[in-house]
A and B are shown apart, each in its own frame.
Chain A
Amino acid sequence: MSGGALVLGEVRGGRLARASAEAVTVARRLVGPAGSGTVTGLVLAGAPAAAASELARTGVDRVLAVSDPTFDAFHASRTAAVAAAVATERSAAHVVVGGTAAGRELVGRLAARWDAAAVTGVVDLVPDGDRGFRAVRTVFSGRAFEEVRLEGPRAVWGTHPLAFAAPPPGPEAPVEARAISGGPSPVPGTAVGFEAASNASGPDLAEATVVVSGGRGLRAPENFHLVEELAGALGGAVGASRAVTDAGWRPTSYQVGQTGRTVTPQLYVAVGISGAIQHLVGMVGSRTIVAINSDPNAPIFKVADYGVVGDLFQIVPALTAEVRKVRGA
């Protein structure tokens, strides 16, 4: 498969979502070195200019910016319609979508509309001879990997958050304002409110490069600040085990595990978490795992890279202080 690629630039709070920049990295690999295929960025928003400009500096060849306030609300069907129309117009062979909630929703809808093969949760690409690339992804709650080949003339690739590096900002490619309707699509729902998660002050769990999670070893909800302070010092997000959310110490939005969120940060710190399988499947894809636990036989030490056996009420404050010292904060 060859030909150009289209990257959907998702706008969040007026800025380009990092997952969209990560998608450009995938698109560049799919089309080959500069000159062998073009990468087009597409931004759909009421005010797309800032995000379009950011996307234009990620190494794409051009950006199409569609200014339409209806895109500021959730509208997967219409986004899919416009993306399919643009991909067809530009004779693209690939569309790449970043791994956000909206992105995951879009892949299936777009593939159905564009009559393409599709894959989601891509964590790596491996060369596949003259066919291009196979996608590597995790299956069975992170317990296994599979490789998938997309056959046919068109393919939609959904990336896994943080699996690919976002390109460093470079020279700005041309940005072209366009009006594209994409044809009929069903009327979506009406947004009537937004409830920010109580852990929304830091980075989102799924997108954080560092996650610090607390478990039952903290003994009481009033001790959870130890986890929050360490996460704050590391610039990371706060998570929790199911024991903590089931006990009501923290809302379910904090939960990492099979019935909660799956996270894949560069650094995962498990504080007072024994490591039940239901928790492990939500974090085992993390690059480096640190476990702090008083029980040397806790299963968490089997999946961790570094372990500290000891009293978390002493270790965690010392670690927070050391991190602040080293990071100069």
Chain B
Amino acid sequence: MEILVLVKAVPDPEARLRPNAAGTAPDLDGVKWVLAGYDESAVEQALLLREAVPDSHVRALAVGPAPRTEEVLRAALALGCDGATWVEPPADLAIDPLLAARALAAAGRRSPFQLVLVGKQAMDDEAGLVGPAVAEHLAVPDFGPVVDLRWDAAGGRFRFARAVEGGLERLEAPPPIVVALQQAWNDPRTAKLQNVLRSRRAPIEKVPWPEVAAALGDRRARSVRTAFRLPPPRSGAKMIEYSTPEEAAQKLVRALREEARTFP
């Protein structure tokens, strides 16, 4: 089975977040870029499938600027991906999720695949647009948010569940499909030191930008971030003073009805 896993470099989720001076973007000066969250789960899921299905290969695919994109591809290689492909856009080109999806689809269709795995959303912009948009450009079905993905070798199809309102929808589908993974329901492995060292010298396939540029469509349609800000700090809870539990309940309900006005 040929598996493509789409990854993105995101700011370290542990890093302190602050806006830039203009208030138009996060201040990313000195921030560490990592493979994180849903993407980490997607890589883990790809490796689990490779272990379960003989003669499988996992290729990590990313679009984005140097050096961060190369670094997360090396992180994916260190975790055990067999190959990595990098689409590096021109430095002056702003990449929104739908443009990224077009570039990823154009690079992805250069070789056959049975499965494209992607996190349901990136840890930073949380757009959730790339998986479905890649699927549309590749003209294959997409499913998300998915948990519990398995390959049914006898039936020649994937079996999985979508986490939807009210429960889990069980589905099966033949390849090729795009799957957007819900959450870290698997327990992502950490890279072994020797693999980290080896990944530093591993070759990364580079797709020249002109090869994908033809597939980029209407460039007037794009999203532009105009502001970035932190929520106002919460001042801390107003504490309910009481002498009996009944008094606490009465005061709280009164506050919710009369002050907060959020009592149902």
Contact = CB atoms under 8 A, between A and B. Distances in A.
Nearest to B168: A195
Contacts of A105: 132, 142-144, 180
Interface of B is mostly: mixed
Nearest to B255: A306
B83 interface: no
A117 interface: yes
Nearest to A303: B234
Contacts, number: 289
B228 A144 contact: yes
B231 A145 contact: yes
Interface stretch (B54-62, B66-74, B121-129, B206-214): B121-129
Interface in A279-322: 284, 287-291, 301-311, 314-315, 317-319, 321-322
Interface string B123-143: 111111111110111011111
Interface string A135-159: 0011111111111111111110000
Residue among A76, A109, A193, A319 having the largest count of chain B Cβ atoms under 10 Å:
A109
Interface string B230-252: 11001011111010111011101
A197 interface: yes
Contacts of B26: 140, 144
Contacts of A234: 264
Given A144-B17, A194-B167, A195-B168, A153 B129 contact: no
A266 B264 contact: yes
A96 to B, nearest CB: 15
A234 to B, nearest CB: 6
A194 B168 contact: yes
A315 B236 contact: no
B202 interface: no
Contacts of A146: 125, 225, 227-229
A252 interface: yes
A178 to B, nearest CB: 23
A109 B253 contact: no
B223 A148 contact: yes
A15 interface: no
Given A102-B164, A104-B128, A186-B139, A141 B13 contact: yes
Interface string A236-262: 100000000000000011000001100
Contacts of A309: 239
Nearest to A260: B183
Interface in A98-136: 100-102, 104-109, 111-113, 115-121, 128, 134
Interface stretch (B42-50, B85-93, B169-177, B190-198): B169-177
A323 B254 CA distance: 10
B111 interface: no
B166 interface: yes
B249 to A, nearest CB: 4
Contact of B222 (A138, A151, A196, A289): A151
A147 B137 contact: no
B223 A151 contact: yes
B264 A148 contact: no
B170 A308 contact: no
Given A108-B97, A139-B126, A152 B136 contact: no
B248 A302 contact: no
Interface stretch (A33-41, A59-67, A168-176, A200-208): A200-208
A204 B167 CA distance: 9
A318 B248 contact: yes
Contacts of A32: none
B252 A259 contact: no
Please provide the 3 A-B residue pairs with the shortest distance between their CB atoms, ordered closest to farther.
A189-B173, A152-B221, A307-B237
Given A139-B125, A197-B167, A319-B245, 13 more contacts: A74-B162, A101-B163, A115-B217, A137-B126, A140-B17, A140-B124, A141-B13, A141-B123, A148-B223, A151-B223, A267-B256, A314-B245, A321-B246
Interface of A: 12, 74, 76-77, 80, 100-102, 104-109, 111-113, 115-121, 128, 134, 137-155, 186-197, 200, 204, 206-207, 209-210, 234-236, 252-253, 259-260, 266-267, 284, 287-291, 301-311, 314-315, 317-319, 321-323, 326-327
